Amino acid sequence: MKHYKQIIPEKLELKIKDIERHPPRIPGFRMAFLMQIIYWICTKKEENGYSYLNMKYLRKQIPQADQYIKHLLNTCLIERTKGYIPGERSFGYRIALEYASKYIVKTVTDQKLIRRIKETPRKFARGFNVQNKHLQNLSFDSHALKFAEANYSGESYNSAIVSINMVNNDEKYSLIDEAGGRYYSNMTNMPAGLRRFVMVKDKHLTANVDIKNSQPYITTMILTNPGEVSRFAKSKDFAMILKSLNIPDNDDIKLYIKLVTEGQFYEYLMPYFEAKGLPCTRVEVKKAVMIILFDKNREKTSRAKRIFKNLFPTVNDIFSIVRGNEGGERFPILLQSIEAFIVLRVILPRINTEHPEIIAFTIHDSLLVTDNPQIVKDIMIEELTKFTGYSPILKIESFSTDRNFNSIQRDLGDKRSRKQGEYYYDSKTFVNN
The CA distance from 415 to 433, in Å, is 12
Residue 361: pLDDT band (50, 70, 90) is very high
- How confident is the prediction for the chain on average, in pLDDT? 89
Q: Provide the pLDDT for residue 179.
A: 87
Q: Provide the pLDDT for residue 132.
A: 96
Q: Provide the pLDDT for residue 404.
A: 57
Q: What is the pLDDT of residues 272-301, one digit of tens each?
A: 999 999 999 999 999 999 988 888 888 888
pLDDT over 70 for what percent of the chain? Answer: 91
Which residues are registered as beta bridge partners of 423?
432
Q: Provide the pLDDT for residue 139.
A: 95
Q: What is the pLDDT of residues 298-348, one digit of tens each?
A: 888 889 999 999 999 999 999 999 998 877 789 999 999 999 999 999 999
Please report the sign of the dihedral spanned by the C-alpha atoms of residue 305, residue 310, residue 315, residue 317: positive
Ranges 113-122, 164-173, 217-226: which has the least confidence: 113-122
Other CB atoms within 10 Å distance of the CB of residue 395: 12
In a domain, residue 402? The reply is: no
Q: Provide the pLDDT for residue 419.
A: 39
Compute φ and ψ for 5, nearest 5 degrees: -130, 145
How many folded domains does the chain comprise? 1
Which residues are registered as beta bridge partners of 85?
89
Which helix (H) or strand (E) segment holds residue 256: the answer is helix 251-261
Asked whether 340 and 183 are in contact (CB, 8 A), the reply is yes
Alpha helices (H) along 276-366: 282-294, 303-311, 313-323, 330-340, 348-354
The CA distance from 275 to 291, in Å, is 19
Other CB atoms within 10 Å distance of the CB of residue 339: 22
Q: Give the range of the structural domain holding residue 40, as residue numbers without chain letter.
A: 1-121
Q: Provide the pLDDT for residue 305.
A: 93
The CA distance from 170 to 118, in Å, is 10
Q: Provide the pLDDT for residue 416.
A: 45
pLDDT at 422 over 90: no
Q: What is the pLDDT of residues 118-169, one digit of tens each?
A: 888 888 999 999 999 999 999 999 999 999 999 999 999 999 999 999 999 9
Q: Provide the pLDDT for residue 114.
A: 92
Q: What angle do CA 226, 230, 233 make, to 5 degrees?
A: 135
Q: What is the mean pLDDT of residues 244-264?
A: 95
In a domain, residue 412? The reply is: no
In a domain, residue 5? The reply is: yes
Decide: helix, strand or coil at residue 389: coil
Compute φ and ψ for 94, nearest 5 degrees: -150, 160
The CA distance from 210 to 393, in Å, is 9
In a domain, residue 40? The reply is: yes
In a domain, residue 261? The reply is: no
Q: What is the pLDDT of residues 54-86, one digit of tens each?
A: 888 888 889 999 999 999 999 999 999 987 777
pLDDT at 418 over 60: no
Cα separations (Å) of 45 from 39, 77, 92, 142, 173? Answer: 11, 16, 9, 26, 15
Q: What is the pLDDT of residues 183-196, one digit of tens each?
A: 999 999 899 999 99
Could you tell me if residue 256 is left (phi over 0), alpha (psi between -120 and 50 degrees) or otherwise beta? alpha
| Helix-then-strand count for the chain, H and E | 20, 16
Side chain identity at residue 43, one-letter code: T
Q: What is the DSSP string of 39-94?
A: HHHHHSB-TTS-EE--HHHHHHHSTTHHHHHHHHHHTTSEEE-S--BTTTBPPEEE
Ranges 8-22, 150-164, 394-408: which has the least confidence: 394-408
Q: Provide the pLDDT for residue 310.
A: 96
In a domain, residue 387? The reply is: no
pLDDT over 90 for what percent of the chain? Answer: 76
Q: Are strands 203-204 and 360-363 parallel, antiparallel or unpaired?
A: unpaired
Which helix (H) or strand (E) segment holds residue 21: the answer is helix 13-21
Ranges 86-95, 248-257, 343-352: which has the least confidence: 86-95
Residue 408: pLDDT band (50, 70, 90) is low
In a domain, residue 273? The reply is: no
Which helix (H) or strand (E) segment holds residue 272: the answer is helix 265-275
In a domain, residue 96? The reply is: yes
Ranges 34-38, 149-153, 408-412: which has the least confidence: 408-412
The CA distance from 207 to 363, in Å, is 12
Q: What is the DSSP string of 190-255?
A: S-GGGGGGEEETTEE--EEEEETTHHHHHHHHHHH-HHHHGGG-SSHHHHHHHHT------HHHHH
